[in-house]
Amino acid sequence: MPFRPICGRQPAGRGGLGWNRMTTTEPIVHVDMDAFYASVETIKDPALRGKPIVVGGLGGRGVVTSASYEARAFGVSSAMPIVRARRLCPHAVFLPNDFSAYEKYSRLIRKVFGSYTPLVEPLSLDEAFLDVSGSVKLFGAPVDIARRIKSEVGEIGLPCTVGVAPNKFLAKLASTRAKPDGLLVVPHDAVKEFLHPLPVTALWGVGEGTAEVLRRLGLKTVADIAAVPRSTLQRALGDAAGGHLHQLAWGVDDRPVTPDEPAKSIGSEETFHRDLDDSGEILREMLRLCDRTATRLRSKGLSGRTVTVKIRWSNFKTITRSRTLETAVDTAPEIYAVARSVYERLDPERPRIRLIGVSVSGLAAGPPQRQLDLLTASGRPGWSEASAAIDEIRGRFGDRSVGPATLLGGWVDGGPEGGVPP
């Protein structure tokens, strides 16, 4: 079996991976950081190395965003309620999310990626696809580039797993199979050998529902799916889904690596430690989320026209409401004015609130193109200038150095119409 993953610390040529078969027909590299948030915490505090670490919201309703492999050995996993994680691993070190640190190290990682190819498609802070087909003359075969990237990221202090393959689907699958701290290559002439023994759930798009349909058809492995006519899969799953799975079962994925794909929306949401019922408290939290969303918009040099409010009630029913403006916005008061208006139009007999989210879509590059008017859409002068000053202060002294005065007390509930601080 030529696909046993090896640790990137082993010298090239070992591990039975068929290096002599590697060519530029395997140009896609997928890099996935191992327990990224937890790994960053060990850089911040080296005394944590080797200990079970759980990162996430630490309140009663918080969820795990990252767990070290020492914690995973006890059954802790991402998206698990923190309460359950504490039961499974009570002796773990529980830490709050530090997104500023994670973004800092994500930038360092992407700098490594960018030193080998401009074709980098980030999927999240800790994961990316790279197309290195144009880099082989400078840096060697794709597997050599993968090993160099793995080594340089390791020098930052962060372990990662790397998959190398002919396309994105196979590269992602290779890195998944090689976790943790591994390197796995799928040569172009051995795709079927790698792919067909895997269970059907290894294919993108096969969740519990689809897997059950496939089981009823007697399909348990990828090889089983590949052996079935496309038309049979399309009758069972629909034209699009059936055709998609048939292609993946033969290792076909024509999607290119798309560098810096434009964001479709920018937003923030929060699940609260207890259900919120008081309107003043709800609006304060909404303003906090609007401020965070606006800051993220400006940091990416974007503005947007559509404001969406997401609310999950205490009975777990979730609703979204959107409003599209005539002109784009990028400041907290403007976004909040819309979000508050949307909220106040909801049924006054609404249940208590478990989660609030605020996002902006319909994005465009650059600040809003405002009319030559002394007033902004919120009816107050100078929001753009004030926001720019806030960004500068936060850049120097941290995110908590300055913010809406409203968040210091109960101003929102009794404030002037529009709900923005004077």
Report the 10 Å Cβ neighbour count for 347: 6
> What percentage of the chain's residues is helix, strand, coil (to nearest 5)?
40, 20, 35
Q: Do residues 112 and 86 lie in contact, with contact meaning Cβ atoms separated by under 8 Å? A: no
Q: How far apart are CA 395 and CA 276, in angstroms?
A: 32
Cα–Cα distance list, 107 to 101, 110, 117, 162 (Å): 10, 5, 15, 18
Q: What is the β-pairing status of strands 53-56 and 93-95?
A: parallel
Tokens 């560098």 belong to 259
Q: How far apart are CA 158 and CA 151, in angstroms?
A: 10
Q: Rounded to 5 degrees, what are φ and ψ at 366?
A: 90, 170
Q: Do residues 8 and 151 lie in contact, with contact meaning Cβ atoms separated by under 8 Å? A: yes
User: Mind telling me the catalytic residues?
Assistant: 127
CB-based contacts of 162: which residues, under 8 Å, 6+ apart? 8, 29, 30, 31, 32, 146, 147, 149, 150, 175, 178, 182, 183, 184
Amino acid at 385: E
